[in-house]
Structure 1
Amino acid sequence: MKPCIALTKGRVEKQFLDYFKALDYDVEPLINKGRKLRVETEEFQFVFAKGVDVTTYVEHGIADLGIVGEDILAEFKPDVYSLLPLPFGHCRMAVAVEKGKEWPNRKRRIASKYTNITKEYFRQKGESVDIFKLEGSVELAPILGLADGIVDIVETGTTLKENGLVVKEEFHQYSARLIANRSSLKIKRDVLAPVIEKFQKGETVS
């Protein structure tokens, strides 16, 4: 049976396809998949999902391997085997605030999709903050007065700049990672080992 790989849709997906092609795998069916969420190539089965759902499919054995951002692993701590970093999907976690606005001395309010990462970061700093969980467009929170700042993934910084925000502190560097289902690594060892080895050799492919 072909190995099943769960792949994060969007930016990571596009970067993965370039990487996968550089490893001499056939990516044609993946590029021309249209709106399909499940695609089969000559060597693999692929499912396309949001990052956190990728970890769920891998954790429960629906997919043997997964390609997901390290930020998702840090935030949700799924029960998967994190095999190795991949040479794409680079980004950083940062605290951002409104440009020119003073950082208040009172207990600060922080908005983020990444509440666990945020809580741990400020705990390590010895700071107590109020955290608001938002699922999208966290840049709005300081603008509308909900929060004093945000904690979010930053890649180019363009979205922050366009919304009048600036990076105050950076505290984690992330990349995409190859993850695996724990049982699959044992049961399908002969099938997965060559694939993982190829990924390891291709770590420096850009």
Structure 2
Amino acid sequence: MEQVTFALAKGRLAKKAMELLKELGITCKEMEGESRKLLFTSDDGKYRFFLSKASDVPTYVDYGVADIGIVGKDTILEENRSVYEVLDLEFGKCKMAVAGKPEMKELLESGKFIRVATKYPAIAKSYFEKFHRPVEIIKLNGSVELGPIVGLSDVIVDIVESGKTLEENGLVVLADIEPLSARCIVNTASMKVKHDAIRNLLNNIEDLRRRENA
């Protein structure tokens, strides 16, 4: 029997993904409770799962270590790996946006040089390149909201959920870049070699989503 291997982004997305699969009858008792294991097998033996840092999920799928990955659209865009994005799972919804102090709106719309702090340099670069915009992109790993507050940058490019963190720090959304949510990605070779198993699974997920939204 050919197993289908999933790479799941650790945390909320993995939890939601396993809840979704459980609704389809795919269960994995090994993943319940506390465990230091890194690789898990479903109760029926048809699937394997491993948890990884979100940014590594597209890499595992690209190299064929995982057949399927479940990860945020932001990570897919930032990592830009050679994978098929096949399904919007419609959870973990938020957006990528340009944000800053309200007075930066004029600078953003002026076309002049702008300094941008972000955890997502590839997404930021791609966005500003569309407008042929002179830009300096500063990669940060921590709270990017600090960038405009302390004068490191004019604006930030970051994920926005409720907008509460921005509001508490005197920042606002200046432009939307991309709607985000959890997506299902598939290895290009796996889509051919394990086509029936993967396609059936994706169809079942789509049917479940349709029923839930009906």
Whether the 8 Å CA contact 1:85–1:203 is kept in 2: the answer is: no
1:140-159 aligned within 5 A = 140-159=146-165
Distance 2:29 2:172 in 1: 40
For residues 27 and 40 of structure 1, do their structure 2 counterparts lie closer, same or farther at Cα, with a shift above 3 Å needed? closer
Aligned to 2:180: 174
TM-score (norm: length of structure 2)? 0.85
Aligned to 2:80: 77
TM-score (norm: length of structure 1)? 0.88
Q: CA deviation at 1:186?
A: 1.5
For residues 170 and 61 of structure 1, do their structure 2 counterparts lie closer, same or farther at Cα, with a shift above 3 Å needed? same
> CA deviation digits over 1:100-135, x for unaligned, max 9?
667557622100111122122222234212110112
Aligned to 2:35: 34
Distance 2:144 2:18 in 1: 29
Count of aligned pairs: 206
* Other structure's SS at 1:7 match: strand
Aligned to 1:91: 94
In the alignment, structure 2 segments of 5+ residues that lack a partner are: none
How much identity, in percent, do the aligned residues show? 41
**Paired letter, 2:128:** F
Aligned to 2:55: 52
> CA deviation digits over 1:171-192, x for unaligned, max 9?
2112211111111112222332
Q: Which of 174, 193, 196 is the equivalent residue of 2:202?
A: 196
For residues 146 and 198 of structure 1, do their structure 2 counterparts lie closer, same or farther at Cα, with a shift above 3 Å needed? same
Q: CA deviation at 1:36?
A: 3.3
Matched, 1:66 2:69: yes
* Other structure's SS at 1:202 match: helix
1:107-146 aligned within 5 A = 107-146=113-152
* Other structure's SS at 1:26 match: coil
85-94 or 13-22, which deviates more: 13-22
In the alignment, structure 1 segments of 5+ residues that lack a partner are: none
Distance 2:27 2:48 in 1: 12
Q: CA deviation at 1:96?
A: 1.1
For residues 102 and 177 of structure 1, do their structure 2 counterparts lie closer, same or farther at Cα, with a shift above 3 Å needed? closer
**Paired letter, 1:19:** L
34-43 or 100-109, which deviates more: 100-109
